Chain A
Amino acid sequence: MIARRHVLAAGAAGSAALALAACGGGSGGSGGEVDGEGKTLTFWLMEGTNASADAYIEELKTAFAEATGATLDVQVQPWDGAHDKFVTAMAGGTGPDVAEVGTTWVPEFADAGGIDDLTEDIEAAGLTEGLVEGLVDAGTLDGQTYGMPWYAGVRAILGNREMLEAAGVAEQPQSWDDLLAMITALKEHDPDWIPFPVAGASIFSAMPFVWGAGGDIAEESGGSWSATIDSPEAVEGLTWYTDLALEHDASTAAATTWVETDSLAAFLQETVPMFITGSWVPATIRADNPELAEKLVAYTIPAKDSAIAPSFLGGSLMCRFTETAEPELAFELIKLVTTGDFATRWAEETNYFPGTTEALDEVVAGGDELTAVFAQQMTEGGTTVPVTPAWGKIEGAKTLSTMIGTILEGTAVQDAAETAAEEMDGFFAG
């Protein structure tokens, strides 16, 4: 309660300054004010990303009212069942004007005609340059951008310094060989440890090794996609990663069905010295186990021969629903949220990275060592999954986690990859 009141008080004090700053940014960027006097705009914000969302929302409302005169109605939506809710809202025309949309959903919604093409608005506002590339890619379908980058997270390796130092391997791995040497040393140091869990149901822990070997999930040529997960490079990466569990005893049989939160649970119990996880996790650990948080260390995920492999960059874009009656006003809100002080503040409060390079630099400069490592992973290795409406189906069918699961259960890598490729090609064909 005390903390909450403190935040509210601080928020109220800073409110005026923020509003002024946002005002200045808005008029400077677009060169023209939008008059929203007497109008109301609805904004769907996803629940749980920001612990102090209430204060943020209040200030956003004030700032928006001062900038445009319009009333802002922020509706917080839970992630559970969010996809269905978006779809129903689009079908029934009961959606908001502006919404936060997860990156992997954007191509699907754009293709279905539920959200607007924002390319021209972004250009007119002079925001095309300086956006985080991976987020732009995720929102770009057939050369058109359907969402304005807002915030992103990326996965890297998070370690327990005390455990790593005990085994004498607390250093950034420069290649796969280095990583394997670390794992072997950890296992030798304490056979009861799970040196590097291979979580079967977490595809974004596995994909960096596919990308790090020069492979990819699928490739586009001439407007059509085809799966490349069964290419020699991809198979090499998958083999190396799953062999950690199958040959090198880096994992446990239990991890075959683990998702990232299961690895995290084991990490919190200090039976796991390092694992692949998101940039938003250190904040969770800091809240749950401050003692462990002191021991955290982060490394970029190594590629076959270098220190940084590509890693999935996930996050949210700000999208405008096709049904909106106030497209200009809606874009004013998108600008207010995704640029300037509000963007920086959101990133700081949520431990995600902002979607503009300017704000990103600011967050990195003010952050700790962990932030710096994750930021490096993101800027130098941030990548995305195939940007096609078919990705939604591939994700829904769990094609890739099925592939990893079956490999961990003994299926030959090449066979499992071919099965997955065949299934993906089926989805690409429509």
Chain B
Amino acid sequence: MSTAPTLEKNPSGGAEPFVRRTVPRGRRLRRGAAPWLLLAPGLIVLGVLLLWPMLRVLNLSLQDYELRNLLRGDSNYVGLDNYVQVLTDPFLWKTVLPNTVGFAIVCVVLTMIVGTSVALFLNSLGTLWRSISTTAIMVAWAVPALTGTYIFVWLFDPQSGLVISALDGLGIMDAGSYNWFTNRWTFYAIATLNVVYHGFPFIAVTMLAGLMTVPDELYEAAALDGASAWTRFWQVTVPTLRPIIAVCVILSTIWDFKVFVQIFLMPGGDGTTREVMNLGVWSYTQSFAQGEYGMGSTIAVLLTALLLVISVVYIRTLMKEEEL
């Protein structure tokens, strides 16, 4: 790209060494520096807020680092011991990882399905109703995860929540007879409802923005060829929106993998009920609740690495090379 202007100025091409001399070294440097200068504030902020803490975490993950080390400022390198300990822990393979991965897959799929369906419905509405409906679903998105989680916990309170009261009233289940929060499956079913409810508006609004850019001619042409609505969706809408879908899927995956508040604030989710622990909560209880900062960092690094791998695979499969 940077050579393009030089070529334009020298259509002959053969006189390139000569031309190079006409642009003084200083000016070339300055010209090259301009984008970096413009990027500098952003890069510095990212470097300080993101890169430095990441390097610190990486550094901590190689140490047996506890409160004592923090206070005395001394380091205690143990090589890859933490990694070996985490990766050989059956708790990781039997509980934490299945919980994290399984939950993320279910949530991403459900969020995408619900979000896309809502976007399709919104797209078929008139402007007024679309604005009203969009505003309404955005409220769900605007509710902080903390508040949303408490609402779901209240709804499903095993003693006096709305759900059990309704079931009790219908004579299906007695109030207080079963605690949903102590069973891995019911616990995560409630968490899934919460996360999908909280996550679908973003997908819906983003997909709606994409849908509105798909030219009507494409649908008309497809309809003329006799394509059904289902075929039109898969053959016209999906291919056109692929970059947007990719972004939505990647973002949802990242969000649903590192979900913490929604699990931690549920009864028993703070580590008391071990079988519902996920990577985020495990990392937190290790670092902050138990003061094993080294071990907590190791788990955090592994979570980051896992997300990086998933993101790369996604980008590779969902986007064609020219879209990258």
When distances are taken between beta carbons in the complex, the residues of chain A under 8 Å from B158 are 252-254
When distances are taken between beta carbons in the complex, the residues of chain A under 8 Å from B72 are 112-113
Interface pairs (14), CB distance under 8 Å: A91-B70, A112-B66, A113-B68, A113-B72, A114-B71, A201-B267, A201-B268, A257-B181, A392-B291, A393-B290, A393-B292, A396-B285, A396-B290, A396-B291
Interchain nearest-CB distance for B292 vs A (Å): 8
Selected interface stretch from A2-10, A159-167, A217-225, A401-409? A401-409
Interchain nearest-CB distance for A320 vs B (Å): 15
Interchain nearest-CB distance for B294 vs A (Å): 13
With A111-B68, A113-B72, A398-B272 as contacts: A254 and B289 at CB distance below 8 Å: no
Interchain nearest-CB distance for B315 vs A (Å): 36
With A108-B291, A256-B179 as contacts: A201 and B70 at CB distance below 8 Å: no
Interchain nearest-CB distance for A430 vs B (Å): 9
Give B68-118 interface residues, CB cut-off 8 Å to A.
Answer: 68, 70-73
Say yes or no: is B274 at the interface (Cβ < 8 Å to chain A). Answer: yes
When distances are taken between beta carbons in the complex, the residues of chain B under 8 Å from A114 are 71
Interchain nearest-CB distance for B230 vs A (Å): 44
A11 to B291 Cα, complex, angstroms: 42
Contact of A108 among B67, B179, B272, B292 (CB under 8 A): B67
Please determine whether A397 and B71 come into contact, CB atoms closer than 8 angstroms. no
Please determine whether B70 and A257 come into contact, CB atoms closer than 8 angstroms. no
When distances are taken between beta carbons in the complex, the residues of chain B under 8 Å from A257 are 179, 181-182, 267-268, 272-273
Please determine whether B182 and A201 come into contact, CB atoms closer than 8 angstroms. no
Say yes or no: is A132 at the interface (Cβ < 8 Å to chain B). Answer: no
A266 to B175 Cα, complex, angstroms: 13
SS class, residues of chain B in contact with chain A: loop
A401 to B71 Cα, complex, angstroms: 29
Return the chain A residue nearest B273 by Cβ: A405
Contact of A397 among B178, B181, B271 (CB under 8 A): B271
SS class, residues of chain A in contact with chain B: helix
Residues of B within 8 A of A (CB): 66-68, 70-73, 157-159, 176-179, 181-182, 267-268, 270-274, 285, 288-292
Contact of A402 among B179, B181, B272, B288 (CB under 8 A): B272
Please determine whether B70 and A397 come into contact, CB atoms closer than 8 angstroms. no
Say yes or no: is A17 at the interface (Cβ < 8 Å to chain B). Answer: no
When distances are taken between beta carbons in the complex, the residues of chain A under 8 Å from B289 are 395-398
Please determine whether A254 and B271 come into contact, CB atoms closer than 8 angstroms. no
Return the chain A residue nearest B289 by Cβ: A396
Interchain nearest-CB distance for A84 vs B (Å): 7
Say yes or no: is A179 at the interface (Cβ < 8 Å to chain B). Answer: no
Please determine whether A405 and B272 come into contact, CB atoms closer than 8 angstroms. yes
Apart from the given pairs A254-B157, A257-B273, 19 other A-B contacts in the complex at a CB distance below 8 Å = A87-B67, A87-B70, A87-B71, A112-B71, A200-B272, A201-B272, A254-B159, A254-B179, A256-B181, A257-B182, A257-B267, A257-B272, A266-B159, A393-B290, A397-B271, A398-B289, A402-B271, A405-B272, A409-B182
Contact of A254 among B70, B71, B176, B274 (CB under 8 A): B176
Say yes or no: is A90 at the interface (Cβ < 8 Å to chain B). Answer: yes
When distances are taken between beta carbons in the complex, the residues of chain B under 8 Å from A256 are 179, 181-182, 268
Please determine whether B71 and A91 come into contact, CB atoms closer than 8 angstroms. yes
Interchain nearest-CB distance for B280 vs A (Å): 16
Closest 3 CB pairs of A and B: A396-B289, A257-B267, A254-B158
A113 to B66 Cα, complex, angstroms: 12
A84 to B290 Cα, complex, angstroms: 11
A405 to B274 Cα, complex, angstroms: 10
Interchain nearest-CB distance for B64 vs A (Å): 10
A87 to B73 Cα, complex, angstroms: 12
A87 to B288 Cα, complex, angstroms: 10
Please determine whether A84 and B288 come into contact, CB atoms closer than 8 angstroms. yes
A108 to B267 Cα, complex, angstroms: 27
When distances are taken between beta carbons in the complex, the residues of chain B under 8 Å from A397 are 271, 285, 289-290
Please determine whether A252 and B71 come into contact, CB atoms closer than 8 angstroms. no
A392 to B157 Cα, complex, angstroms: 30
Return the chain A residue nearest B293 by Cβ: A87
A267 to B70 Cα, complex, angstroms: 43
Interchain nearest-CB distance for A71 vs B (Å): 28
Interchain nearest-CB distance for B146 vs A (Å): 12
A32 to B177 Cα, complex, angstroms: 65
Return the chain A residue nearest B68 by Cβ: A112
Return the chain B residue nearest A257 by Cβ: B267
Return the chain B residue nearest A84 by Cβ: B288
Of B73, B176, B270, the most chain A CB neighbours within 10 A belong to B176
Please determine whether A91 and B290 come into contact, CB atoms closer than 8 angstroms. no
When distances are taken between beta carbons in the complex, the residues of chain B under 8 Å from A83 are 288
When distances are taken between beta carbons in the complex, the residues of chain A under 8 Å from B176 are 194, 252-254
Please determine whether B71 and A398 come into contact, CB atoms closer than 8 angstroms. no
Return the chain A residue nearest B292 by Cβ: A393
A257 to B177 Cα, complex, angstroms: 13
Give A390-425 as 1s and 0s: 1 = Cβ < 8 Å from B's Cβ atoms: 001101111001100100110000000000000000
Contact of B71 among A84, A113, A266, A409 (CB under 8 A): A113
When distances are taken between beta carbons in the complex, the residues of chain B under 8 Å from A402 are 271-274
